[in-house]
Structure formats: C-alpha cells, structure tokens
Amino acid sequence: VLLTAAVLVAFRSQADASSHREAPAISKDAFADTTDVYAFISPENENNIVLAASWIPFEGPEGGPNYFEWDPNALYDIFVDTDGDALPNVTYTLSSRVTTVNGNTFLYNVNTINNLADPEWNRPQFITVTENNDGVITNLVANERTAPVNIGSKSTPDYDALEEEAIYSAAGGTVKVFAGQTDDAFWVDLQVFDLLTLRGQDAPIGYSTGSTNIPVDSLSGFNVHSMVIE
C-alpha cells in the first residue's frame, strides 16, 4: 500500500509555509509552525497505521501563566495521499476553542486538575477533529476537551490519567485520536546553523577543542502540541 503523509497548517485566512522554525514565512508564528510528521505501524495493532504531526516548537513546560495551547484561529491539517498522485485523498483537520470558567482571574487553573471536566481548570480547551475522505466528512472528535498542559505535581499530579482520558475513540472503535501537548520526540543539534557545524566531528566540520564539540539534543526538555490518529 502506498501512503504518503504531508502536513500543512491552514489559517482561516491563509498560510502557505510551515516548518520547524527554519522557514522564514512561518518563523514569527510559532502556533502555526509544523515541527515534524511521523507515520508508523501501530505497536498495538499491526493492521493499523499511526499518523502523528506536531506544531508549536520549543514549548517550555514551565511557560505559564499563559500556557501553550492550540491556536483557536488556526486549522491544523494532516493531508494523506493514498494513490501517489501528490494530492490528498484523506484530510484530517483539527480546530479548537478555549473557554474561561471564572472571568475574574487570568489563571490557567485555580487548583488541582483531577479530570478533564474539573472546574478547577479555568481555561479548558475543546477540540474538533474531522476526517475528509474524498469529500465525505466525518467528525472523529466533536467539541471535546483535550488534556491540559502538564504543569506540575501540584496542578496535574496524575497527568498520565488526564492524557489517557483525552484519547478519543471513533468510527466504531477502529480509530483513536489524541491532540494535545507531548514531548518533542525529534533529536537535533541546532548548532548545525553555526556555519554548518556538526558537533562530534573533527574540525573544521566540528569544533576544534573542548566540550563544545559534544553533540547536544537542542530539543531536550521542550514540548510540542501533537495530533495523533491511529
């Protein structure tokens, strides 16, 4: 089976370029910036494929009080070509909205978030994920809460449970969807942009001396927002 996955983010107005901060047209708009796209066989079911696309690079986990979230003004698309003609046969689209429970405070949460419906989560985000299969549109997730960001042990003490609660089942249980904050799984040493430096190599490709020539994962400790569909 031939399957090619490509991802773009489409503003409700217009956006034509997206990449991991190296595309000038998108570098000033992190919330519309695609980082990476993955496609792989499900480790739980070899008959299923998993599509994962990530946006919003360099999310600091401690980046409060206005924590990272999907941009309600953007549409996030995964385009899937199943016949090799470089045109999408299936398109998955995520849209979102944010509400404020208590308008008297700006805080993301006012106490521990124990479940997705917890009123202590003051700025919950709702997502809708649709599948457009050659013009037939199906709601996979219809205006449901996604997981909050992983703030810390006081605010989100059981984050695994919140994340699990935000995995939605669709199409009679044959499709699973998660769309929220994840670790940035990509490994890259961005020092390459210092005149194409590859640390760990001998000079002049790498640095000539010292610990500065040891490769570093520049994305370690940062998060992204990912839409994952199995």
Model confidence pLDDT, tens digit, residues 157-204: 999 999 999 999 999 999 999 999 999 999 999 999 999 999 999 999
Q: What is the distance between the alpha carbons of residues 173 and 170, in angstroms, rounded to a whole number?
A: 5
What pLDDT sits at residue 18?
A: 55
Widest CA span of the chain, in angstroms? 59
Nearest to 175 by CA among 90, 72, 86: 90
Q: Which residues contact residue 127 at a Cβ distance below 8 angstroms, ignoring those fewer than 6 apart?
A: 70, 94, 95, 96, 141, 143, 144, 145, 146, 179
Q: pLDDT value at position 8?
A: 42
Mean pLDDT of 119-142: 97
Question: Given this model, what pLDDT does residue 24 score?
Answer: 82
Q: What is the pLDDT of residue 205?
A: 95
* Whether the Cβ atoms of residue 154 and residue 145 lie closer than 8 Å to each other: no
CA dist 220 and 188 (Å) reads 9
Return the pLDDT at 19. 59
Q: DSSP letter string over 40-90?
A: EE-SS-TT-EEEEEEEEEEE-TT--SS-----TTEEEEEEEESSSSSS-SE
pLDDT at 28: 87
140 has pLDDT over 60 = yes
- Determine the pLDDT at residue 2: 36
pLDDT beyond 60 at 14: no
User: Average pLDDT in the 97-120 region?
Assistant: 96
In the DSSP assignment, the letter for residue 202 is P
Q: How does pLDDT run across 41-93, given as a tens digit for each residue?
A: 999 999 999 999 999 999 998 889 999 999 999 999 999 999 999 999 999 99
**In the predicted model, is pLDDT for residue 94 greater than 50?**
yes
Question: 22: pLDDT confidence band, cut at 50, 70 and 90?
Answer: confident
- State how far the Cα of 153 lies from the Cα of 137, in Å rounded to an integer: 40
Region 106-126: mean pLDDT is 97
Q: How far apart are CA 62 and CA 150, in angstroms?
A: 9
